[in-house]
Structure 1
C-alpha cells in the first residue's frame, strides 16, 4: 500500500459540505468527500477512503484542501491527478498528487490552517463573482476591525465563536495571525490558527462587522471572547465569501510550498 496526498480545489456552492453524508458505497446527496472517493475508487478499481485536513461547511470553497488516502493500485501521481479530475464534477479538481510517508496524516500532521473571507462593501449587491463574495451595504471601517481582531491572537478559549452544534471536545485554539484590510470595494479577512471550531471564522467575521459598522466599540471583541458565550457575539456571516486556503505542514513531509509553514 502507498499513501498519497492530494491538493484539492473546489467551489463549495454546489455541495452540502465536505463530510460524507452516507456510508461508503451508498448514494450520497451531495458531499465533496463522496464525490472525491467515487472518482478515486473508479481510478483505483477498488474502494478508497479519504481523510481531509479540515472539513468545510456547505457553500464554503477551498483553494487547496489536502487529503490523504492509501492504495495498492499501480498508478503514477500524474495518473491519479488527471484520472481523478476527469471523474470529478466541474466544481472540483485535483491540483497535485504526491506519494508521502506512511505516517503522514492530512489532519493530524497539519500545524496550522488558513482561511480568507471576502466581502463586497457597497450599497448594491454583487453581480459578478457573487458566488465567492459576501455583501455588506453598511460602510465598514476595515482599520477598526483589524485593530479589534488583534484581541483574538494567541491560545484562548473561543467558545463565544463556535456554533452550538460544534463537536470539538474543547474550544481552546491558537490564533496565530488575523488581519483585516480593504481592497477597493472589498474587505478581506485572513485568519491562521492551529485549528478552527465549527463556524468559528464566520462567527468572528460576523462579530467584526458590528465593529466595522460602528455599532460596537473595538474593545467589544475582546469582551465577547472573554465572555465565552455564543449569544453575546455577532451573527454568523454567510458562507459564500469563505475560502479554505489550506493547511500548513512542516517541511519534513516534502509537500508543495503553498502548504508549508
Structure 2
C-alpha cells in the first residue's frame, strides 16, 4: 500500500462542514467520491482538522492509502476532474507509512477575515464576517494577550466538543487592518477589512468563533479588554459572547515537521486579504 497526502482548498459556503454525513453534502464526501472515481476503488481519508459548516479551507491536509502507483500530478489533475468547482486539490505527495495528517501535525493555523462597514458584504458575502460599528485595534490586542500560552479554554468550547481536554496552547493572536482611513461620501466611517490570525497546538470546537465573539464585543466598546481574562478564568461557556459567524473563518492548514517535506502554503493563500 502507498500512503498519499493531499493539500485541499475549498469554499465552505455550500457544504455542511468537513466531516462525512448521511446527506453526502460535506467536503469529505465530495473528496472521497472524486478520489474513488479516479482511483476506481473506495478511498477513505483522514484530515488534519475538521471544519464546520460555512468554514473555508486554504490548505486542508488529508492522507489515504492506495494500491495504485500514480504520479503526484496525476492525483491532482485526476481528482480535480471529478470535484465541484469550489473544491480543489492543490498538491499531492507520497508520504511514509508513519505520516498521519492529524497525528503528525504540530500545530493548526486559522485566519478570520472581518469586514467593518456601514454596508453589509456583497461580492464577498459568505467569505467574510461583518460588523457595522468601528473596532478598537489596541483594545482587541490587549484582550487577545490574555489568551496567549497554555490555558483551559472551556469558556470558548462548544457543548458538542469531542476533544479529550480543553487545555490548549495558543500563540499570540495577530490582528491587522487593511483599508481606507478616510470615509467615503455618504458613509459614517471608512470601510476596512480586519484579519485575525490564530495558531495553536490544537483547538476545541468553536474556539475561534467564540473568541471572535468576545474580541468584537471588546473592539466595539461593549466590554473592557480585561473582560477577556475574566471569561477565560470562568471556565464556563455562559461567560463568553455568542458564537460568531463562520463566514470569515479560514483553515490555513496544519504545521508539520520539515522531515515530511510537505508544502507550507498554496496559491490559495495569496488572494486572502
Please confirm whether the aligned pair reaches a TM-score higher than 0.5, indicating the same fold: yes
Gaps of 5+ in 2: 180-191, 267-273
Q: Distance in 2 between matches of 1:146 and 1:190?
A: 12
Q: How far has the Cα of 1:130 moved from its partner?
A: 1.5
* Equivalent residues of 1:157, 1:172 under 8 A apart: yes
Secondary structure at 1:63 match in 2: strand
* Equivalent residues of 1:180, 1:189 under 8 A apart: yes
1:95-138 alpha-carbon deviations (Å, 9 max, x no partner): 00000010100001000001000111111101121121111001
Report the counterpart of residue 144 of structure 1 in structure 2. Answer: 139
Secondary structure at 2:100 match in 1: coil
- Does residue 227 of structure 2 align to residue 220 of structure 1? yes
Residue of structure 2 aligned with 1:104, choices 99, 117, 124 = 99
Report the counterpart of residue 158 of structure 1 in structure 2. Answer: 153
Q: How far has the Cα of 1:257 moved from its partner?
A: 3.3
Report the counterpart of residue 132 of structure 1 in structure 2. Answer: 127
Moved over 4 A (4+): none
Gaps of 5+ in 1: 23-27
Report the counterpart of residue 30 of structure 1 in structure 2. Answer: 25
Secondary structure at 1:197 match in 2: coil
Report the counterpart of residue 82 of structure 2 in structure 1. Answer: 87
1:30-79 alpha-carbon deviations (Å, 9 max, x no partner): 01101100111111111110000000000000000000000011311111
Q: How many residues align?
A: 254
Report the counterpart of residue 185 of structure 2 in structure 1. Answer: none
Residue of structure 2 aligned with 1:115, choices 93, 110, 114 = 110
Using the size of structure 2 for normalisation, the TM-score is 0.91
- Does residue 211 of structure 2 align to residue 204 of structure 1? yes
- Does residue 257 of structure 2 align to residue 250 of structure 1? yes
